[in-house]
C-alpha cells in the first residue's frame, strides 16, 4: 500500500502535511526489526522544487509521476520500480484533487494517479473559514468520483477547541476518519518566491524546520491509521511480483519512429502517436557505448548548484543507464569544466537570483563559450537557456553579462508562462531528430528580446485548438529551450545525446592523434 496526500485546492497545506509525515517517519519511527525505515516519496506533476524537500528528508531521489510528460505505463513502472524494496511510500499531489489539464476529465490530476495506481487518498481541508459547511465540501469530494478511495481527512488551520468540535460533528456522518488535526497557530512556513518555494540549497535553517515538522508529524496525526496505509513491509512479495509483471509488459522496441501528430482530445491516442516508448533499456546504443569499458563512457557535465538545480531524477538515471558518466559541476563556483567531458547539460533553476555571481565568474563563462563554439553537444533548458544568452536583466532592471552563445537578452518580468507543451522539432538537434514530437512543460517569468530565425520547435498548449508558436534555439550541436522534458519513457533522447557526445569526443581524439607517414 501507499498513500497520496491531496488537497481540496492549491494552498491548503498539503506540502506541509507531506513533509511532516515524511519527517516523522524517517526521524522518529522504527520498523519492527528496529531500523530506520526506507521511505520513497513521489510528486504528482512536473514540479521540481517540492521534490527537493522530499529528498532532503528521505535521502532518496523523489520521483515525479506525470502521465502527460511520460505515459500511464511509465507512471506505473516508475512507482513499481521505486517501491518494491522500501518500507513506506508517500505521494504528494498537485493542486486540488481533481485539478488537471481539462475540466472534462481527470487527466494529469492527483485523482488520475490515485485511480491509475489504485492508491487511497488523504484529503487536506482548509478549515480556517468553515464550520458545518466542511461536510458539504468533504461529501462532494467523497462522491464526485466513487473510484477514488478517500481514506481520511486532515483538518488544517483549526481555530479553537469549539471549532474542532463543530468540524468533527459535521464530518462524522460521512464515516471517514479524521487522521490529522493542525491548529491555526501552528506556524511552520517555508519561504517562497516567484516560482514557488525557495530551494533547499538556499535555506541554512532547513534542518531546524525539519525538526519542527517531525514534531508536528508526531503530535498531529493518527499513526495507528496512517502507518498501515503507508507501509509496504507486509506486501514486499506482492509488490515484487507486480514489479516483475510491469517490467515484462513495458519491454518494447525502444527505437521510436516518426508518427502522426497526437490528438489531445484522446489521451490514450496521444501516448500512442507521439513516438514515446516506455522501454527502459538502451539497446539502440551503438556497440561499446553502454559503459562495458570505462574509456568508452562519454562524460557529461551536469550543472548543479544554487543557479541550476531543476532536474528530474529519472533524466539523470537515464544518462547513466544508457552508458554516460554523469559529472556534476558548478558554473557558480568552478573555474573550469570537469576534465574529459564531451557533453554539457544545463538544467533549469534560478540564474536570475545569482546573476551577479554567474556574471562575475568570467573564467567559467568563457570556458563554456569555448566548449560550445568548438561543437561540444549541449542541452540547456529554461535556466540553462537563460545562462547562454548574451545578457540577463534581473527584476531590478540591472543587466548582467552571461555566456553569450545565444544572440539575445533575457529579461525577468511579472508575467508567468506556465503549462504543458506539445513541441515538434523543426530540425535535428543533439537530442531530437527533425519532425519528432515531444511533450514538455514551461514555467518561467522571463522573456527573450529576440527569437531565432530558425527556431528549434513549433509548440502549442495541451489542447489541439491552442495556437502554435516558434520556440527554442538550435545549432547542430546545441539544444536550448524553455521547455522542460522528462526522459522517463523516452530512451531515444539520452541515447541520441550520448551518441552525439561520443562522436564529438572521438572526432577530437582523432584530430589530436598524429598521422604517421
Write out the catalytic residue numbers. Answer: 382
| Assigned C-alpha cell, 112 | 488520475
Looking at residue 354, the DSSP 8-state letter turns out to be G
Q: Give the single-character DSSP code of 37.
A: P
Grid coordinates belonging to 200: 533547499
- Greatest CA separation found in the chain? 94
Q: Are 381 and 482 in contact (CB under 8 A)?
A: yes
User: What ranges in 267-380 are assigned the alpha helix state H?
Assistant: 267-273, 313-321, 355-360, 362-373
Burial of 515 (0-12, 13-18, 19+ CB in 10 A): exposed
Residues 29-33: contacts with CB under 8 Å, at least 24 apart: 29/227, 31/87, 31/233, 32/233
Quick check: 425 and 388 in contact, CB under 8 A? no
276: nearest Cα among 422, 97, 474? 422
Q: What share of the chain is helix, strand, coil (3-state, %, to 5)?
A: 35, 25, 40
Grid coordinates given for 88: 513506506
- Cell triple for residue 124? 487536506
Main-chain phi, psi angles of 113, to 5 degrees: -70, -40
Per-residue DSSP letter, 368? H
CB atoms within 10 A of CB 318: 24
Among 511, 503, 465, 457, smallest CA distance to 483 is for 457
Tell me how far apart the alpha carbons of residues 49 and 199 are, in angstroms, rounded to a whole number: 6
Q: Which residue has the cell 529554461?
A: 382
**C-alpha cell read off for 409:** 537578452
Alpha-helical regions (H) of 251-332: 267-273, 313-321
Whole-angstrom distance, CA of residue 304 vs CA of residue 386: 15
C-alpha cell at 502: 561520443
Q: DSSP of 225-241, one letter per residue?
A: HHHHHHB-GGGHHHHHH
> What's the Cα-to-Cα distance from 406 to each of 234, 367, 410, 511, rounded to whole Å?
55, 15, 10, 27
Cα separation, 160 vs 170, in Å, equals: 15
Axis crossing angle, helix 72-83 with helix 110-117, rounded to the nearest 10: 70
Amino acid at each position: 500500500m501507499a498513500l497520496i496526500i491531496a488537497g481540496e485546492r492549491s494552498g491548503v497545506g498539503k506540502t506541509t502535511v507531506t513533509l511532516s509525515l515524511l519527517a516523522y517517519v524517517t526521524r522518529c519511527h522504527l520498523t519492527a526489526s528496529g531500523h530506520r525505515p526506507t521511505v520513497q516519496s513521489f510528486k504528482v506533476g512536473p514540479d521540481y522544487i517540492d521534490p527537493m524537500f522530499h529528498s532532503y528528508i528521505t535521502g532518496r531521489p523523489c520521483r515525479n509521476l506525470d502521465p502527460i510528460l511520460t505515459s500511464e505505463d511509465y507512471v506505473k513502472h516508475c512507482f513499481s520500480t521505486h517501491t518494491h524494496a522500501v518500507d513506506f511510500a508517500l505521494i504528494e499531489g498537485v493542486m486540488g484533487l481533481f485539478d488537471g489539464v481539462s475540466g472534462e476529465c481527470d487527466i494529469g490530476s492527483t485523482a488520475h494517479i490515485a485511480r491509475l495506481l489504485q492508491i487511497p487518498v488523504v484529503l487536506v481541508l482548509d478549515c480556517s473559514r468553515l464550520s458545518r459547511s466542511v461536510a458539504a465540501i468533504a461529501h462532494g469530494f467523497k462522491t464526485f468520483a466513487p473510484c477514488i478511495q478517500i481514506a481520511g481527512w486532515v483538518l488544517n488551520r483549526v481555530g479553537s477547541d469549539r471549532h474542532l468540535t463543530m468540524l468533527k460533528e459535521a464530518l462524522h456522518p460521512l464515516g471517514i476518519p479524521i487522521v490529522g488535526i493542525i491548529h491555526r497557530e501552528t506556524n511552520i512556513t517555508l519561504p517562497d518566491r516567484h516560482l514557488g518555494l525557495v530551494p533547499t540549497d538556499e535555506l541554512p535553517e532547513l534542518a531546524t524546520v525539519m525538526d519542527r515538522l517531525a514534531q508536528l508529524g508526531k503530535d498531529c496525526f493518527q499513526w495507528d491509521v496512517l502507518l498501515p496505509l503507508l507501509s509496504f513491509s507486509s506486501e514486499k512479495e506482492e509488490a515484487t511480483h507486480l514489479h516483475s509483471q510491469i517490467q515484462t509488459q513495458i519491454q518494447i522496441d525502444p527505437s521510436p519512429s516518426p508518427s502522426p501528430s497526437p490528438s489531445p482530445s484522446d489521451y490514450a491516442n496521444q501516448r500512442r502517436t507521439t513516438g514515446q516508448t516506455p522501454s527502459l533499456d538502451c539497446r539502440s546504443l551503438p556497440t561499446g557505448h553502454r559503459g562495458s569499458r570505462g574509456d568508452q563512457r562519454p562524460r557529461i557535465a551536469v550543472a548543479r548548484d544554487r543557479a541550476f538545480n531543476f532536474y528530474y531524477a529519472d533524466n539523470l538515471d537515464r544518462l547513466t543507464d544508457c552508458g554516460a558518466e554523469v559529472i556534476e559541476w558548478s558554473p557558480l563556483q568552478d573555474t573550469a569544466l570537469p576534465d574529459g567531458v564531451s557533453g554539457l547539460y544545463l538544467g533549469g533553476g534560478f540564474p536570475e537570483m545569482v546573476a551577479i555571481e554567474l556574471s562575475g565568474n568570467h573564467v567559467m563563462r568563457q570556458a563554456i563559450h569555448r566548449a560550445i563554439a568548438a561543437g561540444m553537444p549541449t542541452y540547456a533548458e529554461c535556466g540553462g537557456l537563460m545562462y547562454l544568452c548574451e545578457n540577463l536583466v534581473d527584476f531590478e532592471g540591472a543587466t548582467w553579462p552571461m555566456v553569450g552563445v545565444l544572440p539575445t537578452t533575457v529579461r525577468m518580468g511579472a508575467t508567468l508562462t506556465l503549462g504543458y507543451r506539445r513541441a515538434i522539432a523543426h530540425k535535428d538537434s543533439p537530442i531530437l531528430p527533425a519532425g519528432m514530437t515531444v511533450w514538455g512543460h514551461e514555467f518561467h517569468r522571463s522573456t527573450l528580446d529576440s527569437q531565432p530565425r530558425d527556431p528549434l520547435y513549433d509548440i502549442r498548449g495541451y489542447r489541439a485548438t491552442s495556437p502554435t508558436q516558434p520556440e527554442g534555439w538550435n545549432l547542430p550541436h546545441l539544444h536550448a529551450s524553455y521547455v522542460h522534458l522528462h526522459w522517463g519513457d523516452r530512451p531515444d533522447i539520452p541515447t541520441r545525446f550520448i551518441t552525439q557526445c561520443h562522436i564529438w569526443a572521438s572526432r577530437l581524439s582523432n584530430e589530436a592523434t598524429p598521422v604517421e607517414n
